Amino acid sequence: MTFQFKVRDPLGNVHNGTVEALSADEATQQLRREGFHVLQLDEDEQGLTLFARGVSRSEIVYATTQLAVMVETGITISTALETILAQEQNPTFKAVLVDLKNTVEAGENFSAALARHPKHFDQTYVSLVKASEATGTLAEMLERISVYLRKEMDTRSKVRSAMAYPAVMLALAVAVTIFLLTYILPKFEPLFTRRGTKLPKPTIIMMAMSKALMGYWYLWLILAVALVAGFFYAKRTTAGRRAIDWLKINVPILGPLFRKVAISRSIRTLGTMIHSGVSVLSALDLTADVAGNEYYRELWLGVRDKVTAGKPIHECLQGNSLLPPMLVQMISSGENTGKLDMVLERVSMHFDSEVDTSIKTATSLIEPLMITAMGFVVGGIGMSLLLPIFSLSKPPGH
């Protein structure tokens, strides 16, 4: 929930802004911990609006790029945020920017201000900014973050595009099948019954499916809802996520694509973190968080535990079936030469191109398979209708 506040600082200055918290009491305690005396606290009505606009990833990237340019020219974070705020049209993001500005003006670090909005700025973003504050390279870091976020957006967009075609074809196949079984096939049943035609087995099966679909439609609807609800529930449990993620990386055609996406995302994050001065253990933690797959998450957490015990990263990865041997060799050479960050960034670029190739390959294979499957379903139903008609058209005695 978002709350609008009016507070007084220890010097007597009055500040206005917004804060995100689970309740008004928690918001009040949060402001008091920061040394403010709360004068007024109201729930933001914009947050109560049913159709309140969210904050897109592209808006975060654009704002980060603007911040990088302005900070590089010597403008303070507070002034840069105020400039971005003046031209922002999204009320939700505007409230976030107001809170960032007020928090920075109250004396907090920019990373601490960002950490107050984990929904919009994840731990990777906050950690990179925090590392740059310690080294005085905030402008350069903001530019690196914007590049990092753009690559993440590109990867997600490409994967969604690759999945859109089979999803649309599957939905179309299901819709056509339901239409044929519930509307077309029942119209022929009276004709077959009146003529006393002996129906072939394919037609009998299709008729039975049609009656089951029409007579127990509510059960099918309940089953569909239960499957969707079960899927989303499974995604919230560790066992469910493991099952879904195992299927994603092992399914034919699409499995190699999901593997390369997870590797590309992991390696890009690890390289960016190490190059930015984040400790290796913290970098491995964050890499596990952004992997997007439970198996790769467990892999990087296992690497972190072994690195804590003194092992180099490449030794922790040797023999693991989730990573190609070439990648392990590259990491080994990077560690031996002291240029691990550079090697990881080069490798992530390689896997980005591999993702593009895998998407093209998967799309070219899925398209004929989906068309063939749809033709088989529609053709099977069509043949079940035509076979009895052929019997009716034969002269008696033949």
Residue 203 CA to residue 384 CA, distance in Å, equals 4
Classify residue 73: in a domain, yes or no. Answer: yes
Of the residues 121, 138, 166, the one at which a domain ends: 121
Q: What is the pLDDT of residue 132?
A: 86
pLDDT in tens, 151-190: 888 888 888 877 787 888 888 888 888 888 888 888 877 7
Domain presence at residue 369: yes
The answer on 257 and 177 residing in a single domain is yes
- Residue 247 belongs to a domain: yes
Reply yes or no on whether the pLDDT at 46 is more than 70: no
CATH number of the domain at 44, please.
Answer: 1.20.81.30
Q: Which helix (H) or strand (E) segment is 78 a member of?
A: helix 77-87
3-state helix, strand, coil in the chain (%, to 5): 75, 5, 20
The span from the CA of 381 to the CA of 185, in Å, is 8
Domain assignment present for 352: yes
Could you tell me if 67 and 191 lie in one domain? no
Could you tell me which residue, 14 or 392, shows the higher pLDDT?
A: 14
Q: How many Cβ atoms sit within 10 Å of the Cβ of residue 68? A: 21
Q: Residues 3-31: pLDDT tens digits?
A: 777 788 777 777 777 776 656 667 777 77
Mean pLDDT of the chain: 83
For β-strands 37-43 and 14-20, DSSP reports them as: unpaired
Judgement on whether residues 102 and 174 belong to the same structural domain of the protein? no
In a shared domain, residues 215 and 115 = no
Same domain (yes/no): 161, 240: yes
- Same domain assignment for residues 316 and 261: yes
What is the tens place of the pLDDT at every residue in 82-108? 899 888 888 888 888 888 988 888 888
Structural domain of 243: 151-398
**SS3 (DSSP) at 43:** strand
Question: Given a cut of 80, is residue 51 above it in pLDDT?
Answer: no
Between the CA of residue 60 and those of 82, 127, 128, 146, 152, what are the distances in Å?
15, 16, 15, 8, 12
DSSP state of 254: T
Contacts of the segment 108-112: beta carbons below 8 A, 24+ positions apart: 108/34, 109/133, 110/77, 110/138
- Are 235 and 107 found together in one domain? no
Residue 391 lies in a domain: yes
Which of 104, 121, 138 marks a domain boundary? 121
Asked whether residue 89 falls in the same domain as residue 228, the answer is no
Q: Is 229's pLDDT higher than 50?
A: yes
In a domain, 130, yes or no: no
7-16, 113-122, 124-133: which range is least confident on average?
A: 7-16
pLDDT beyond 90 at 225: yes
Q: Examine the domain organization and report whether 238 and 305 are in the same domain.
A: yes
Q: Average pLDDT of 30-36? A: 77
Residue 364 CB partners (closer than 8 Å, separation 6+): none
Number of domains in the chain: 2
What confidence tens digit (pLDDT) does each residue in 317-340 have?
988 889 999 999 999 999 898 888
Domain annotation covers residue 116:
yes
